[in-house]
């Protein structure tokens, strides 16, 4: 039940975010730069993931398994996740956030195509997905939800 | 009428009652060729042109090939028309290697053999399965798939299957209108499998054999010894006995051993009165290379991103054109060669997960064809309700292993004959083949945006998952090769250095691919009968 409510609130947030973003886009043009704060960007990116408990678990395990990821801060992990689809934090626009979903789909599709995958806790996921899970893990930790 | 004839007639009445024949039909008595060997006289000698030992899929197939000819065929069956405990106990033995199923129950010792409980899955071996593969030690048949193709075609209706269209997926799809998965064909492909009703050979072909005046089926006839001349180069006769009856002998021009993947080896090893190591065993090969398919059921569970996915081509059996089919996944030859993989197949089974305890639809939002306008599934009732997974069942070809073998045990059966010890072993790289097979599936389901794979094998690639099991397809113990140094039988299934002893069945298989063995067993039996018919009388 807790997870369902959480999912519901996360989806509501995403829908609201998309609505507001859309309004801003219409109002100010597609290349309006957003303030490059890590937290909102991370929050937006991690909303691509359903069932956050499992995603957080996978993210934590991946960080534990891969020393290179373990050294990253939330900000660095956010940048890594953006890099996976060719974006930089200071180049973000609302438009790019809106279209990120499709960019991630493409990146994940390509990962599986070229075997850019990770094995984590019995799951086989794309590296891009792994990075998203790791970002969610760090984001939740940063907000004190999964210490 | 002598006493034994009276007994035989009485028994035929019983058998006829089993077969629903009118008990007062004198004609049936005169044509009925099912004989209860327990009613024979002690020391009686029987003569035939061809003697087939074992009335399973192979033995019955060969016997049928002689119906209506002038060849007198004796078909010996250890059991009766139904299972009985005493006869079945003759299969007792011990698994001393990898855990497997009890030897008494995973084979059946009565008329029809193990087809009395088989599942009916059929497909020919792939062409690559017959090849000598450099990366697969001890691989290579002495014949090719094209050598066997005409016999596969002939085997198809015998096993109760429809059109021989294994390489023509479009043929089936045009009739059932079910889509296949958009697989990357250099990685995985959709493959046609056929489903037998399944044909119970003992039931299906009993009448034909009964009506054949030149075929004599001896029930309850257990071969204890294959007797040869002094040089062990020619079989002269068989020593046969019944559990509660007489001992008798049988001589023939040609003998065919058709008792299955384990018993063929056992009987050769037991026949050691002249050849001290057993018949055909000059090079210590009889009983070695014992193989069984390696199964993971499941190897992984796929949690779907979209429960609307239509997998009916794979997870249902379709009745088409007088046959039944379903589809599986397998890798193309080019990938097997490139990655030096053993052959394998994957079944897609709609099931609740056995290994996954978490909902894996983490990536549902991200799983879609890139560029799709709307992939959000939040409002679909199925998404909330449907928690079904597809279980991917792996069937892996094992690496032939001379240390995986059947030997005679010190324990004995009701006749005082040595039972068998089965030391089933696999090679270390079989696990890596299984891991890679499951990974290929995970890659494809991810690439197609359909779901993610979870499996115990991905958690720890250094050990077999706990659910690894045998396929109950016993093969390889009297392999056919082109040299007596590497095999027991030649390309015509004749035991090396014995002029009139032939083998048939899965014990001949040097490698076993991923396909269930029965269709190949029947095809090889047809090929052997053609060969024998072509020999000078």
Say what the pLDDT of residue B350 is: 81
- Interface with chain B: mutation pick from A65, A85, A109, A136, highest number of B CBs within 10 Å: A109
| Residue A109 touches chain B, beta carbons under 8 Å | yes
Instruction: Test A109 with B458 for CB contact under 8 angstroms.
Output: no
Report the pLDDT value the prediction gives residue A27, as an integer from 0 to 100.
38
CB contact under 8 A, B459 and A122: yes
- Supply B344's token pair: 């394998």
Per-residue model confidence as pLDDT tens digits over B457-510: 999 999 999 999 999 999 999 999 999 999 999 999 999 999 999 999 999 999
Average pLDDT, chain B: 90
Question: pLDDT confidence of B11, banded at 50, 70, 90?
Answer: very low
Residue A74 has pLDDT above 80, yes or no: yes
Test the A interface: residue of B363, B372, B466 with most A CBs within 10 Å: B363
B53 contacts B256 by C-beta, under 8 angstroms: yes
CB contacts, 8 Å: B461 with chain A: 119
Tokens of B134: 């450099």
Of A85-89, B135-139, B253-257, B333-337, the least confident: A85-89
pLDDT in tens, B423-448: 999 999 999 999 999 999 999 999 99
**Residues within 8 A of A (CB atoms), B 299-338 only:** 300
| Contact status of B39 with chain A (Cβ, < 8 Å) | no
Residue A24: predicted pLDDT: 41
Q: In the structure, what pLDDT confidence band is assigned to residue B363 with cuts at 50, 70 and 90?
A: confident
Q: Quick check: B211 pLDDT over 70? A: yes
List the structure tokens of B537.
Answer: 């009388």
Residues A90-116 have a mean pLDDT of: 82
pLDDT digit string, tens, across residues A1-58: 444 455 455 555 445 445 444 444 443 444 444 445 778 788 888 888 887 889 999 9
pLDDT of B196 higher than 90: yes
Answer whether A51 sits within 8 Å of B359, measured CB to CB.
yes
Indicate whether B2 pLDDT > 70. Answer: no
The reported pLDDT for the residue numbered B253 is 97
Residues of B in contact with A57 (CB under 8 A): 358
Q: Do A124 and B458 touch (CB under 8 A)?
A: yes
The interface predicted TM-score (ipTM) is 0.87
Regarding predicted confidence, which is higher, B413 or B353? B413
Q: Does A129 touch chain B (CB under 8 A)?
A: yes
**Confidence (pLDDT) at B376:** 46
B 67-86 → A contacts, CB under 8 A: none
Q: Is the CB of A106 inside 8 Å of chain B's CB atoms?
A: yes
Whether B170 has its CB under 8 Å from any CB of chain A: the answer is: no
pLDDT given at position A26? 42
Cβ distance of B366 and A129 shorter than 8 Å? yes
Looking only at the bridges linking them, the beta strands covering B468-470 and B405-412 are: unpaired
Is any Cβ of chain B less than 8 angstroms from the Cβ of A8?
no
Of A50, A105, A124, the CB nearest to B362: A50
* pLDDT for the residue numbered B507: 98
Residues B465/B469/B475/B477 CA torsion (nearest 10 deg):
70
pLDDT of B304 reads 79
Contact B360/A55, CB-based, under 8 Å?
no
B167 DSSP assignment: T
Q: Does A49 touch chain B (CB under 8 A)?
A: yes
Neighbours of B20 (CB within 10 A): 7
Q: What is the DSSP letter of B40?
A: S
Q: Is the pLDDT of residue B89 over 80?
A: yes
Residue B143 phi/psi, 5° resolution? -125, 165
pTM beyond 0.80, yes or no:
yes
Q: Which of B364, B378, B439 sits opposite A124 (nearest CB)?
A: B439
> Does pLDDT of A73 surpass 70?
yes
Predicted pLDDT at B31: 37
The shortest C-alpha distance from A43 to chain B (Å) reads 15
| pLDDT score recorded for residue B21 | 36
Q: Give pairs for B315-322: CB < 8 Å, separation 24+.
A: B315/B348, B315/B349, B315/B350, B315/B390, B317/B195, B318/B172, B318/B176, B318/B178, B320/B162, B320/B172, B320/B175, B320/B176, B321/B162, B321/B163, B321/B175, B322/B162, B322/B163
């Amino acid at each position: 039940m807790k997870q369902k409510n959480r999912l519901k609130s996360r989806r509501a947030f995403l829908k609201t975010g998309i609505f507001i973003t859309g309004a801003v886009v219409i109002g100010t043009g597609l290349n309006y730069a957003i303030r490059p704060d890590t937290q909102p960007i991370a929050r937006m990116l991690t909303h691509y993931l359903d069932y956050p408990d499992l995603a957080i678990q996978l993210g934590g395990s991946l960080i534990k398994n891969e020393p290179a990821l373990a050294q990253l801060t939330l900000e660095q992990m956010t940048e890594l996740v953006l890099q996976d689809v060719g974006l930089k934090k200071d180049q973000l626009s609302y438009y790019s956030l809106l279209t990120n979903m499709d960019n991630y789909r493409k990146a994940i599709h390509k990962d599986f195509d070229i075997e850019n995958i990770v094995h984590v806790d019995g799951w086989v996921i794309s590296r891009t997905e792994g990075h998203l899970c790791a970002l969610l893990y760090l984001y939740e930790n940063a907000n004190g939800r999964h210490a | 009428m002598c006493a034994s004839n009276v007994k035989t007639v009485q028994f035929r009445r019983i058998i006829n009652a089993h077969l629903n024949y009118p008990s007062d039909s004198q004609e049936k008595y005169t044509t009925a060729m099912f004989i209860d060997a327990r009613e024979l006289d002690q020391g009686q000698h029987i003569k035939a042109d061809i003697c087939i030992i074992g009335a399973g899929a192979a033995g019955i197939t060969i016997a049928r090939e002689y119906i209506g000819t002038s060849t007198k065929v004796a078909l010996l069956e250890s059991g009766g028309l139904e299972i009985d405990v005493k006869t079945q106990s003759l299969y007792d033995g011990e698994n001393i290697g990898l855990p497997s199923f009890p030897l008494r129950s995973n084979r059946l010792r009565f008329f029809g053999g193990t087809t009395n409980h088989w599942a009916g899955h059929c497909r020919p071996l792939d062409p690559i399965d017959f090849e000598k593969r450099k990366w697969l030690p001890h691989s290579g048949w002495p014949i090719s798939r094209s050598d066997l193709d005409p016999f596969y075609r002939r085997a198809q209706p015998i096993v109760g299957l429809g059109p021989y269209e294994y390489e023509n997926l479009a043929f089936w799809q045009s009739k059932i209108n079910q889509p296949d998965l958009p697989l990357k064909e250099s990685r995985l492909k959709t493959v046609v499998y056929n489903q037998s009703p399944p044909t119970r050979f003992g039931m299906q072909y009993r009448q034909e054999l009964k009506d054949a005046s030149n075929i004599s089926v001896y029930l309850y006839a257990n071969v204890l010894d294959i007797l040869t001349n002094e040089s062990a180069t020619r079989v002269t006769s068989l020593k046969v006995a019944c559990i509660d009856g007489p001992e008798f002998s049988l001589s023939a021009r040609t003998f065919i051993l058709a008792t299955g993947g384990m018993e063929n080896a056992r009987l050769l090893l037991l026949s050691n009165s002249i050849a001290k190591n057993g018949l055909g065993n000059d090079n210590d090969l009889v009983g070695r290379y014992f193989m069984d398919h390696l199964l993971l059921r499941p190897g992984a569970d796929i949690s779907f991103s979209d429960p609307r996915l239509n997998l009916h081509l794979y997870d249902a059996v379709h009745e088409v054109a007088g046959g039944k089919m379903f589809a599986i996944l397998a890798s193309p030859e080019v990938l097997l060669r490139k990655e030096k993989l053993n052959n394998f197949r994957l079944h897609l089974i709609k099931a609740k997960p056995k290994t996954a305890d978490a909902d894996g639809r983490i990536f549902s939002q991200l799983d879609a064809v890139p560029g799709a306008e709307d992939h959000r599934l939040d409002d679909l009732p199925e998404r909330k309700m449907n928690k079904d997974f597809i279980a991917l069942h792996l069937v892996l070809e094992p690496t032939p292993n001379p240390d995986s073998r059947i030997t005679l045990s010190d324990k004995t059966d009701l006749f005082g004959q040595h039972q068998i010890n089965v030391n089933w072993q696999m090679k270390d790289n079989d696990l890596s083949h299984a891991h890679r097979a499951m990974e290929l599936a995970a890659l494809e389901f991810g690439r197609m945006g359909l779901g993610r794979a979870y499996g115990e094998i991905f958690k720890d690639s250094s050990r077999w998952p706990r659910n690894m099991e045998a396929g109950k397809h016993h093969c390889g113990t009297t392999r056919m090769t082109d040299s007596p140094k590497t095999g027991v039988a030649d390309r015509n299934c004749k035991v090396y250095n014995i002029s009139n002893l032939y083998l048939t069945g899965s014990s001949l298989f040097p490698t076993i691919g991923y396909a269930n063995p029965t269709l190949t067993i029947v095809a090889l039996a047809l090929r052997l009968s053609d060969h024998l018919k072509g020999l000078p009388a």
